[in-house]
Structure 1
Amino acid sequence: MEKVIIRDDFIKLGQAMKLAGMVGSGVDAKMLIQDGQVEVNGEVEYQRGKKLHEGDVITFNGESVQIGK
């Protein structure tokens, strides 16, 4: 599983998706999240600004990425 390394205590979901290369822009992330196509820790997430912390896992389109430090 790929990791997205963060320096702060958290990163927002849309930003993490961009950093991981799952989407090309924040607009893409917003649309996919609002459509219920993104999961965080196994549950569908509808908030683009959801704060993710170390150990959280984003899943989209069969690809998973874990937040790390």
Structure 2
Amino acid sequence: MEELQFDTEYITLGQLLKMVNAISSGGMAKWFLSENIVYVKGEGEQRRGRKLYDGDIVMVPGAGKFKLAAAPDGNRDVY
């Protein structure tokens, strides 16, 4: 499992797909998700706008399994 860092409160599933090179542009996210099942925390997900947070585990067909880690930059709001 690969750790994937980001520096915002969350990223969307579409952003993650682009980060891991599963798609080459954001516009391809809808197509990719209609053809493939991506698993977020063990459950199938097809919404490109799904918010992903620190600690989430995501499995992307053809790209791998990723554990999301928010970079500790001190600028994020904590709720």
**TM-score range normalised by the length of the shorter chain:** 0.7 to 0.9
CA RMSD across the alignment? 1.6
Structure 2 match to 1:59: 59
Structure 1: 4+ residue segments shifted above 2 A: none
Matched residue count: 69
Deviation at 1:27, TM superposition (A): 2.7
Paired with 1:22 and 1:35, the residues of 2 have a C-alpha distance of 12
Secondary structure of the 2:59 match is: strand
Partners of 1:27 and 1:37 lie apart in 2 by: 17
Any gaps of 5 or more consecutive residues in structure 1?
A: none
What is the TM-score of this pair, normalised by structure 1?
0.82
- Whether 2:65 is the aligned partner of 1:68: answer no
Q: TM-score, normalising length from structure 2?
A: 0.73
Report what 1:3 is aligned to. Answer: 3
Equivalent-residue separation in structure 1 for 2:54 and 2:26 (angstroms):
21
